[in-house]
Structure 1
Amino acid sequence: MILLKGFKFGMLLQLAVGPMCLLVFNTSANLGFLNGLVLVLAIALVDASYIALSGLGVAVLMRNERVQAVFKVLGCLVLCVFGLNTALGAMSITLLPDLSLFSESTSENLFLQGMLLTASNPMTIVFWSGVFSSQVADNNLKHGELRLFGVGCVLSTICFLSLVAAAGSLVSGFIPQYIIKILNIAVGLFLIICGLKLLLNRQKTEP
């Protein structure tokens, strides 16, 4: 039942549609369902890593203001560069022509892009640390139960984003090409906005 509880909690978090959700939809609409799944697996892997790190006490380090400042700047740069490249790509302009990680759309590159974008806000570790602390305080969960709770949260990410990927691939055949370009620009701008918000936001919040 703890696994199910983690799954339900994770699904509630998924309802707050974020940049990665839109990116999965956009990738599936442009490149197909399987490429969307590659992105989903990358996101889930980073989420699982952050959940594990929060359990190891890394969140204490992430609460340091200087550490936060460094990671917020790095995260902002990653999101803004990817966002700008995505938006310009809709107009056949490549911001980073010499970096295949950004410009090519192979499964390997999509996986690396998904990991880099998801990892761009390591403040997530602090968020999960708070979640686990509240679970221990409110429900007296043991160490093994917390692991099951975390697994349930990761499974919810995989399930929800897989459905988003399926939706993107299904509607791709019905969306005119100019709409796809507008969607690319919108996703790019959204990533840039998220990057700037990460840099300006002084509070420790979930991405």
Structure 2
Amino acid sequence: MNVIEGIGMGLVLSLIIGPVFFALIQSSIEKGFRYAVAMAAGILLSDSLYVLLTYFGVSLITNNPMVEMVLGFVGGGFLVAFGVLTFMKKGMGRPNTGGFPKSKKRPMKRKGFAKGFSLNGVNPFVLLFWTSIAGLVHLKDGFGALDVVGYYLGILLTVFLIDVLKAYSATKLRTFITPKIMQLLNKVVAVALVGFGIRLIVFAAEAV
């Protein structure tokens, strides 16, 4: 029953549109399904580490606003920098690849994993989400060890599978997207990343 409850919470988390959502869709279209799956795996590992961090240290994090402030500045700065680099990125279209860059599979997978892990990891909203979940779990008196594991597994696996589904759906649109449209999508993603980054920095500044 707690697994089902976790699946429900995972569905809610999957509907949140943030910088990782835009980056996942963009990467799937531009670099392929396998790259996006590797990115989703990186997101999964990042979330799993946050689960451990918040579950075992929820009281320390929630009672220390300095942690949120530092994460806000660092995470916001990273997103702004990543957005600027994405905006400045030039098209690399090639006729034999349908206008998309062609790279070796292994390096792409490693880069995709690192990209998913880092983008999700530096977002303080992800930390705050898992902190709230940890608080909720701690408040449930009837939750035993197996209940906690089932609940978190329900959330994590649901988010991962839906991320994979998003990547697969985006890949199907690849043949309809020209290099010019891809360039426009890159600009939109870049602006979104910068917007999220600035928002995080503002929140961090207000906490000072």
- In the superposition, the TM-score normalised over structure 1's length comes to 0.83
Q: Please name the residue that 1:46 is paired with.
A: 46
User: Does the 8 Å CA contact 2:39/2:112 hold for their aligned counterparts?
Assistant: yes
Provide the C-alpha distance between the structure 2 equivalents of 1:122 and 1:59, rounded to a whole number of angstroms.
17
Cα contact 2:43–2:117 (8 A) shared by 1: yes
The structural deviation recorded for 1:35 is 0.6
Counterparts of 1:90 and 1:8, CA distance in 2: 40
**What is the aligned partner in structure 1 of residue 147 from structure 2?**
145
Flag the structure with larger Rg: 2
In the alignment, the residues of structure 1 paired with residue 40 and residue 148 of structure 2 have an alpha-carbon distance, to the nearest angstrom, of 23
Q: Distance in 1 between the 2:71 and 2:165 partners?
A: 31
Correspondences of 1:1-207 after superposition (within 5 Å) = 1-58=1-58, 60-61=60-61, 63-90=63-90, 106-122=108-124, 124-137=126-139, 140-201=142-203
The 1-side partners of 2:129 and 2:63 are apart by 10
Runs (4 or more) in structure 1 with deviation over 6 Å come to: none
1:68, 1:123 within 8 Å by CA — same for their partners in 2? no
Q: Cα offset for 1:109?
A: 1.8
In structure 2, distance between residues paired with 1:68 and 1:195:
14
Q: Deviations over 1:13-69 (max 9, x none)?
A: 211222111211110100110011011000111011101111111552364222222
Q: How many pairs align?
A: 191
> Once the 2 structures are TM-superposed, how far is the Cα of residue 12 of structure 1 from its aligned partner?
1.3
Mapped contact 1:19–1:191 kept (Cα < 8 A): yes
User: After the TM superposition, which of the residue ranges 58-67 and 26-35 deviates more from structure 2?
Assistant: 58-67
Q: Quickly say closer, same or farther: Cα 1:51–1:167, change in 2 above 3 A.
A: same
C-alpha displacement at 1:175, in angstroms? Answer: 1.2
Instruction: Output the CA distance in 1 between the equivalents of 2:173 and 2:11.
Output: 23
Return 5+ residue gaps in structure 1 as ranges.
93-104
Distance 1:136 1:64, change over 3 A: closer
Query: In 2, are the aligned partners of 1:90 and 1:185 still within 8 Å (CA)?
Result: no
- The CA deviation at 1:90 is 4.2
**Inter-CA distance 72–177: structure 2 relative to 1 (3 Å threshold):** same
Q: Which runs of 5+ in 2 are unaligned?
A: 93-106
Distance 1:132 1:64, change over 3 A: closer
